Amino acid sequence: MTRTFIALAASSALALQAAPVWAQAPGALYTVVVPSSQFGSPNFTQLVVNGLAAARAFCGKLENKAYVVDCLAERLDAVSDQMDLEGNTGDDYAEVRSILSDTSGKLQKLARDNRDRALPRGKASTTSGSTTIRTSRPLTPVAAPAAADVNAQATAILDEAETLLLRSAAGSSDKTAQYTRIAEALRSNKVLIRST
């Protein structure tokens, strides 16, 4: 059974259900080999797509939806960071990393600018078996009166990122196919924002 918690204060926590954040089995080593004449790797693209889907699942299970925008910001940053750790194919995915990192920063700023000071900041985590995945930083809750406006702005930020991904892929059929898959995975996170 998978359990997720967001620590809200020293004496309280919310229990949630969630999927693993990065779609790779603990302890497994995954090597992507790419021919030098081709763009990127469909396998690496799949890892990025899985990471974005896992981010949506992780943040979607938070019981208090005030934390969702900043959770998504933190998880997008984690996917971007993981791309560096996975030994991606050189500069093929540099634009994706940059766009995800920039989108994460914009979402984090949006949450901070609209913080609900009545709610504490807290880290979210998920445990499945002996594996625990935690957010790298405390999440900032969004004030309820600002939620509709914040969600509209967050959706616009994700739209912009999707557009940038699709424009970055112009001119290469391999790149277009892979960046389109990543853009579609990012788009699916808008459903999460709209449901909060």
pLDDT score recorded for residue 151: 97
pTM of the model: 0.78
Of residues 21, 34, 139, 130, the one with CA closest to residue 91: 34
The distance of Cα 102 from the centroid of its chain, to the nearest Å, equals 12
How far is residue 190's CA from residue 78's CA, in Å, rounded to a whole number? 18
How far is residue 6's CA from residue 16's CA, in Å, rounded to a whole number? 8
How far is residue 106's CA from residue 140's CA, in Å, rounded to a whole number? 13
Provide the terminal-to-terminal Cα distance of the chain, rounded to the nearest Å. 25
Of residues 39, 137, 24, the one with CA closest to residue 86: 24
pLDDT score recorded for residue 195: 79
Query: What are the residue ranges spanned by the domains of the chain?
Result: 2-194
- What digits encode the pLDDT tens for the residues 21-71? 333 444 444 444 444 444 567 788 898 999 999 999 999 989 899 999 999
- What digits encode the pLDDT tens for the residues 64-101? 999 999 999 999 999 999 887 665 555 678 889 999 99
Q: Which residues pair with 159 in a beta bridge?
A: none
Please state whether 88 falls in left (phi above 0), alpha (psi between -120 and 50) or beta: beta
